Amino acid sequence: MHPPIEDYALIGDLQTAGLVGRDGSIDWLCLPRFDSAACFAALLGNRDNGHWRLAPADHRARSERSYRGDSLVLDTVWTTDTGRVRVTDFMPQRDRAPDVVRLVEGLEGSVEMRGVLRLRFDYGRVVPWVRHVGDCRVAVAGPDSVWLHSVPEVTTYGQGFSTRSDFTVEAGEQVAFVLTWHPSHEPRPARIDPYDALSCTLEDWEEWAAQCSYDGPHRDAVVRSLITLKALTYAPTGGIVAAPTTSLPEEIGGVRNWDYRYCWLRDATLTLNALLSAGYTEEAVAWRDWLLRAVAGSPADLQIMYGLSGERRLPEAELPWLEGYSGSIPVRIGNAAVEQLQLDVYGEVLDSLHLAQAAGMPDKPHAWNIQRALLAFLRKNWQEPDEGLWEVRGPRRHFVHSKVMAWVAADRAIRTAEAHPHLKADLDVWRAMRDEVHREVCEKGYDPERGTFTQYYGSEELDAATLLIPRVGFLPGDDPRVIGTVDAVHRELTHNGLVHRYSTRRADGPHHKTDGLPGQEGTFLVCSFWLADALHLTGRQKEARELFDRLLELRTDLGLLAEEYDPATGCQLGNFPQAFSHVGLIGTAFTLAGMLKAD
């Protein structure tokens, strides 16, 4: 069995990220980008698929860990019978090549340390050729090359297709290891000074975190979530990945394992709102600009997700040589959902661009033309069924959330045009569309007998996405239909007070009738934040605060959240850490503090 997902810590350099376990092992790292092939893939296989462990030789050693201040620099303090030692892990923001730095510092007594570096390129499949070059170990296979050196030099030796080191650290002594990747056909990159890199990395993070303008309750949690969101940003383009991992399961042993190392359009509005509300205009502008580049082209070709630089082709494949996290197969790379029709993304894009303009972000001359083209396409196609917000792999439906977001698309275009009369706009046509969508959703998407909006037209199923109805302004929070929907979701989709995105317990045969997949999943953390928002907007502030406090307790000791949580086992599930979960935390903190309004 693998360590629990919540046992991992995140390190990164704003272009990729690694996961470090409590045992001192880096079990996941893709180089040079988030979506590159992993060179450490033990997270989804076993130690033979690549990892780097650096810890005391005594297996009985005890550890405590924390991030240093408001940074992504991880400190792990180990205590043995003979002394104490601190291992500091981080990735400095790169000049050219990505580096992983591991610093060992003796604190008390004397501690015997052991390092095991097992590089496996191409997601744990390719064993590199390793040789000595001067004071370095160099691993090469195909396009990949990795260099390892230490300061002062530590003797290394090969054993079992791994590079090992055994050394002792006395109190006051320091040893630094630096692992650097670069294309194998290029000259070796310049070395960095690991201690200068530590100072610069701490300074960069602390300076960035200090820009946070939020001063309400739970500020530490908000800042940590903002740091996590920043860590998932691909700095060269401004794109934000949903998570740095692939195929961490939504059910242990199940098949709901997806690749999240891409940028989803539907995250845009909530992410922009969170960044702008916290004072991070530069990041919001970069995300907005990425969005405009990604969606440029024919509106009919709009995708739900794109690559880090706006790539459109993200073909899905399975990696059969990996046994999966705790036996959860298949392990997938790429994401076939990119081919789905999800009409809600048109609303999310128009909502994001309206939000950016309303916030006073520098305008782009072509942005309004893109918005008009997207709305023109949606006006002709919003009545079509689609796969919906949750990317179901079952039949297309008339999902209520998709229709609500079609209303949002028209509403935001109208509001933008009304605020800027010089913009060319078909206001009468757009208002007619907005009214027609609203009328149809209230007629076909609402169950008057149960007093709730449903998942899709004619359905008895519920959907946590309908909790967003007051948030996006489709209906006010005091509307009886909204109150009934909140009550129904609270009653039928919660497990120990936490929210499932929809029911996976009603099935026709082996596969669920809505999403077309077998098995179940945990409660969806962002949906639980949405419930807290909806409770607040419907006047139930005490319940909202209580739910938010409980959600904060689900974070790891380092303040991180995965996609889902299993109330039965108390474990996190799904890809980790999840941007959407942290965006939800930030948004709810602002909502409860009265600093974020519904549209």
Q: Helices in 232-342 by DSSP H: which ranges?
A: 268-277, 281-295
Phi/psi of residue 155, each to 5°? -65, 130
- Which pLDDT score is estimated for 189? 87
pLDDT at residue number 475: 98
DSSP single-letter state for residue 301:
G
User: How far is residue 26's CA from residue 30's CA, in Å, rounded to a whole number?
Assistant: 11
- Among 194-198, 364-368, 536-540, the range scoring the smallest mean pLDDT is 364-368
Mean pLDDT of the chain: 94
CATH architecture of 211-592: Alpha/alpha barrel (1.50)
Architecture of domain 5-200: Distorted Sandwich (2.70)
Residue of 338, 472, 471, 345 lying closest to 412 (CA atoms): 472
253: left (phi over 0), alpha (psi -120 to 50) or beta: left
What's this model's pTM, rounded to 2 decimal places?
A: 0.95
Common-topology check for domains 5-200 and 211-592: no
Q: Which DSSP letter does residue 483 get?
A: H
Letter for the amino acid at 26?
Answer: I
pLDDT digits (tens, 9 = 90+) for 447-499: 999 999 999 999 999 999 999 999 999 999 999 999 999 999 999 999 999 99
Give pLDDT tens digits for 524-563: 999 999 999 999 999 999 999 999 999 999 999 999 999 9
pLDDT of 86: 98
Residues in the chain: 599
For the chain, the structural domain boundaries read 5-200, 211-592
Question: What pLDDT shows up at residue 421?
Answer: 93
pLDDT digits (tens, 9 = 90+) for 395-439: 899 999 999 999 999 999 999 999 999 999 999 999 999 999 999
